[in-house]
Structure 1
């Protein structure tokens, strides 16, 4: 027994004709007749009384028609639902935000792509500057964009890389170091250096290794990117930060690569269990497309 047989049977009964049923299904009349006959043979019962000009149901046929109709309707409803879910991200996507320039450019691009896939998706942003990892672990956000080494020690968190990491030096416009194509650690000696406060999400383990290479007496910690940018623009010193936090569109600050080993990448952190609520694979794909689009322009 298969759904083609059931549909042929239902169509023939609904139209009281094998010929009309065949036309509506784009089948030949013999094909419809054969499917119904095969169904009767499998059930070992006659379902339809075949007359010269019309067909009618037997008692068994009347009973089986109701069952077959319900089965086909349920299957059509299930198939329709699954097709509708194919292009759905989920009901609600909660994104942890650290309030950095890249997010201001990246998030609108990603939201446009997400909306094209799922018009009904709701997106909420949660400020996680001081506790991004705990917000993920406590299920307060579905995804958060962070440096990989900030979550390396947490085995339950998954990570999808978006950008390869490296240190950049934020230089005041027309400063001595802004004229260089590459800044060395020795260039930063005796200079006022601004780094991110170790207690917030913009800090990470690799920065601690960098601190050991610099003169601690010339380091000042700041709470967020924008405070660092203010100090740099004012000419008070130089900022050292990952490439994924820099403002790629600013004209008042020159970002010069630091001669330093690569640092862990920047990407999407999430719990495996988040896949129960949203399509993480599709979200990762969308953010990768948004990143590519952003850095191509």
Structure 2
């Protein structure tokens, strides 16, 4: 078994095609097929069904894919990191992000401020929504911008809070609730409520959404796939969205975000391993993020 065989297997599965895999790898189709066949001979089982010019994974193939995917990703990350260390005089900083609406507003400001404080930093963003702590523990990222609940049970991980966590209600700008300073659960009981589908949500949101549903009931609750869908329904006047304050886009037109009179949830901040020993860089990251957040998040939604 070798790395080329694994890459051929991964590319073929990801693209559902030997032909496309060959194009992406700059190999011939016969070379891709041979590498995968040699891999199957090595592990002693069939990994891919080849029928009617379509490929699909066997049960063994599905299991092996996840293992091979991690191996290939780890090697790609390692090679990229070492090449950068060798060829670049800048310090590489890999930042794990979840691509929330708030991050989309905050991160460009953060980058500008960080560049002013340290021109030698080369920042790379890594999308970590489904496996934030795994990416940190596997050293695929140096720091993660996430909720604290994701790291509480993990040893050797430090966390610095940037925003205290609580729920906010996304309201149409012309609604009665948009004029309130604080929304109660009673204000919401007869309203159509949109929550993010737990299968596509941040871990912290899943946990606290369950508590919220227990307190409110499920009669008027509808689940949507993502924040953009929630935003569309809210702006159209179809109901109200409930989400953590560290996700919301406070600069959006057509919607207002009002704090909910409910218990606090996990704070949002920066997580990093004990082994990350560049304290000067950490201080610059924290300072730049806090400054960027101050420009985007209203005071009432930060505390």
TM-score w.r.t. the length of structure 1 is: 0.63
Match of 2:114 in 1: 114
Map residues 92-241 of structure 1 onto 2, 5 A cutoff. 92-200=92-200, 202-204=202-204, 205-241=207-243
Partner of 1:63: none
In structure 2, how many angstroms separate the alpha carbons of the residues matched to 1:232 and 1:101? 15
1:288 equivalent to 2:290? Answer yes
Report the CA distance between 1:197 and its aligned residue.
2.8
Correspondence 1:20-99 to 2 at 5 A: 91-99=91-99
1:178 shift after superposition: 2.5
User: Considering only CA atoms, is the larger Rg found in Structure 1 or Structure 2?
Assistant: 1
Give the drift of 1:295.
Answer: 4.7
Q: Deviations over 1:13-67 (max 9, x none)?
A: xxxxxxxxxxxxxxxxxxxxxxxxxxxxxxxxxxxxxxxxxxxxxxxxxxxxxxx
Gapped runs of 5+ residues in structure 1? 1-88
Quickly say closer, same or farther: Cα 1:179–1:276, change in 2 above 3 A.
Answer: closer
- Residue in structure 2 matching 1:246, options 243, 248, 257: 248
Separation of aligned partners in 2, 1:293 and 1:97: 19
- Quote the residue 1:258 is aligned against: 260
C-alpha displacement of 1:168: 0.7
1:254, CA displacement in angstroms? 1.7
Structure 1 pair 294–255 and aligned structure 2 pair: CA distance change class (3 A): closer
Provide closer, same or farther for how the CA distance between residues 165 and 154 of structure 1 changes in structure 2, counting only shifts above 3 A: same
| Unpaired segments ≥5 residues, structure 2 | 1-88
Distance across 2 between alignment mates of 1:296 and 1:274? 32
Query: Which runs of 4 or more aligned residues in structure 1 lie more than 4 Å from their structure 2 counterparts after TM superposition?
Result: 293-297
State how far apart, in whole Å, the 1-side matches of 2:239 and 2:295 are.
33
Helix, strand or coil for the counterpart of 1:139?
coil
